[in-house]
Structures are given as structure tokens and as C-alpha cells.
């Protein structure tokens, strides 16, 4: 079963094409890494997939349900009610954490399940505590984001995304704001999620991590998918441009 399907996605900003005819699908339990130079459209792809940006063309489908499609060269979105349902299928972890600074760690994680999914407060609290235990943060429930390291904040943002029990998790450069030591903490969590068969799309510059973890790697450049395949296919026999890019980061 495909959790996500994107067909012929187009996106423009001020007349400039940023994404051009992007098509990809992600199966349940699959881990897909998206790599490529800055400005290649990786983050815009994630923002379109999570409906933070409006697509200018193409089709967006979650769990067989159409969220957006093209009509007369224009992208049409499903009803507000339908989109509310579709949004429950995915979670998004940002590079800059995006935690509510005035909420405790526990409240950051509980907030959406209680207010969006109407989970009873005590049940949401128990789920949040379980997630914190899973991510090695049980002692931080009552702390505020400013009291945490960057790695701890990112783990809280992962817990917050997991609290809504998504079918697929998107990560937009989850370690780019962290120093190497803290990067390891976050990658360890993502590795565990992969072992637990969480479906994920990860935009990353961590080449070795992408190679170890991914079922498939997508190389983007200039708003198109230039090459995709298994880690072996990309790392062992890439075209000259892919080889040059990977060499810069993996060397």
C-alpha cells in the first residue's frame, strides 16, 4: 500500500519554476532520503507534500485519498473537512524544532492530541510520558524548551509529531541546526523509528546516515528528480554529478 503518492507536481514562485514534474510514491514502512544541493527544491517538496505550500499542478494522495489534483491547469484541493482528515496521516519535524516556547515539554506533546484529536487529557498525558520515555527524556516533562539542548528539543519535536500517530513522518533537515554530538542523539532516534517500520521521508545532508538507513534515495537538482534508487545504486554507480555531490559530503 502506498502511504503517499505525488504525481507530476509543479510549483512556481513569482513565475520561477521551483519544482517540475515531480512524481514519487512511498510504501508503508519505507524510508526514503532526499538529497541534493541547496536550492534544489527539497524543502519545497516537503512543504507541498504537507500542504504548507499550495501546489501549482499535479496530484497529492494519502492512503488512497486525494488531497489535491489538477483541473484546467490549476491545482484544486479537497474540502476543508476532507483535508483535516488527510492531515492526520502525516507528521512533520522541522529543522528549527518549532516548539511552543511558553509550553512545557509535556504540554507541547499533549496539545495536539487533546485539541485536535479530542483525546482525553489523562490518556494524552500517559501517551506523552510513554513517548518521552522512549526518547530518553522522561526527566524533562516539566522543562521548557529554552532549558533543553538542541538535540533534546529536536527529540521533543519528534515526540510531538509521533503523538498524533501519523502513517508517515517527514523530516526537513532534522540535524542541520545541531552540532555533531547532538546530531548523533537525533539520528539514533530516527534509526529506532526505522527499525520499528515507521514510514519516513527525510531531507538530509547526512550521507552516511542516508546510505545506512534508506530503502531508497532520491537525488534532486534544479527542481527535478535527477536520479533515484537504492543506496547501493546511488553510491556505487551514480552519474558524474551525483558522484560529485555525494563525494563532497561523504568524503
pLDDT at 14 over 70: yes
The pairing of strands 216-221 and 16-27 is unpaired
List pLDDT tens digits, range 236-246: 867 888 888 88
What gap in Å lies between CA 71 and CA 233, rounded to an integer? 37
Measured CA to CA in angstroms, residue 152 lies from 100, 124, 140 at distances of 14, 20, 9
Instruction: Confirm if 161 and 199 have CB atoms less than 8 A apart.
Output: no
3-state helix/strand/coil string of the chain = CEEEEEEEEEEEECCEEEEEEEEEEEECCCEEEEECCCCCCHHHHHHHHCCCCCCCEEEEEECCEEEEEEECCEEEECCHHHHHHHHCCEEEECCCCCCCCCCCHHHHHHHHHHHCCCCCHHHHHHHHHHHHHHCCCHHHCCCCHHHCCHHHHHHHHHHHHHCCCCCEEEEECCCCCCCHHHHHHHHHHHHHHHHCCCEEEEECCCHHHHHHHCCEEEEEECCEEEEEECHHHHHHCCCHHHHHHHHHHHC
What gap in Å lies between CA 194 and CA 115, rounded to an integer? 28
List pLDDT tens digits, range 107-149: 999 999 999 889 999 999 999 999 999 999 999 999 999 999 9
Neighbour-count burial of 53, counting CB atoms closer than 10 A to its CB (0-12 exposed, 13-18 middle, 19+ buried): middle
Q: What is the pLDDT of residue 235?
A: 87
When pLDDT is cut at 50, 70 and 90, the band that residue 72 belongs to is confident
Q: What is the pLDDT of residue 116?
A: 87
Instruction: Confirm if 90 and 62 have CB atoms less than 8 A apart.
Output: yes
Q: What percent of the chain lies above the pLDDT cut of 90?
A: 80
List pLDDT tens digits, range 208-227: 899 999 999 999 999 999 99
pLDDT at 38 over 60: yes
Q: What is the pLDDT of residue 176?
A: 86
Q: What is the pLDDT of residue 132?
A: 96
The whole-number average pLDDT for the span 7-18 is 94
Average pLDDT, the chain: 93
Q: What is the pLDDT of residue 232?
A: 92
pLDDT at 249 over 80: no
Q: What is the pLDDT of residue 49?
A: 97
List all residues 6 or more positions away from 234 whose beta carbon is below 8 Å from its beta carbon: 217, 219, 227, 228, 242, 246
The pairing of strands 199-203 and 31-35 is parallel
Q: What is the pLDDT of residue 251?
A: 52
Q: What is the pLDDT of residue 202?
A: 97
List pLDDT tens digits, range 159-217: 999 999 999 999 999 988 888 888 888 999 999 999 999 999 999 998 989 999 999 99
The whole-number average pLDDT for the span 147-164 is 95
Amino acid at each position: 500500500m502506498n502511504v503517499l503518492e505525488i504525481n507530476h507536481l509543479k510549483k512556481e514562485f513569482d513565475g520561477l519554476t521551483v519544482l517540475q514534474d515531480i512524481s514519487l510514491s512511498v510504501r508503508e514502512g519505507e524510508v526514503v532520503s532526499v538529497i541534493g544541493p541547496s536550492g534544489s527544491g527539497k524543502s519545497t517538496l516537503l512543504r507541498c507534500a504537507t500542504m504548507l505550500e499550495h501546489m501549482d499542478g499535479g496530484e497529492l494522495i494519502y492512503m488512497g485519498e486525494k488531497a489535491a489534483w489538477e483541473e484546467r491547469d490549476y491545482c484544486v484541493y479537497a474540502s476543508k473537512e476532507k483535508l483535516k482528515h488527510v492531515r492526520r496521516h502525516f507528521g512533520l519535524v522541522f529543522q528549527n524544532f518549532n516548539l511552543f516556547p511558553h509550553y512545557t515539554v509535556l504540554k507541547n506533546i499533549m496539545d495536539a492530541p487533546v485539541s485536535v484529536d479530542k483525546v482525553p487529557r489523562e490518556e494524552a498525558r500517559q501517551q506523552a510520558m510513554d513517548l518521552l520515555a522512549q526518547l530518553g527524556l522522561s526527566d524533562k516533562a516539566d522543562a521548557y524548551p529554552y532549558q533543553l539542548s538542541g538535540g533534546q528539543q529536536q527529540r521533543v519535536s519528534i515526540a510531538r509529531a509521533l503523538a498524533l500517530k501519523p502513517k508517515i513522518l517527514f523530516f526537513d533537515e532534522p540535524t542541520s541546526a545541531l552540532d555533531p554530538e547532538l546530531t548523533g542523539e537525533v539520528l539514533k532516534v530516527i534509526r529506532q523509528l526505522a527499525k520499528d517500520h515507521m514510514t519516513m521521508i527525510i531531507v538530509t545532508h547526512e550521507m552516511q546516515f542516508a546510505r545506512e538507513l534508506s530503502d531508497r534515495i532520491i537525488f534532486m537538482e534544479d527542481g527535478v528528480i535527477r536520479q533515484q534508487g537504492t543506496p547501493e545504486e546511488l553510491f556505487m554507480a551514480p552519474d558524474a554529478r551525483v558522484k560529485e555531490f555525494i563525494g563532497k559530503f561523504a568524503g
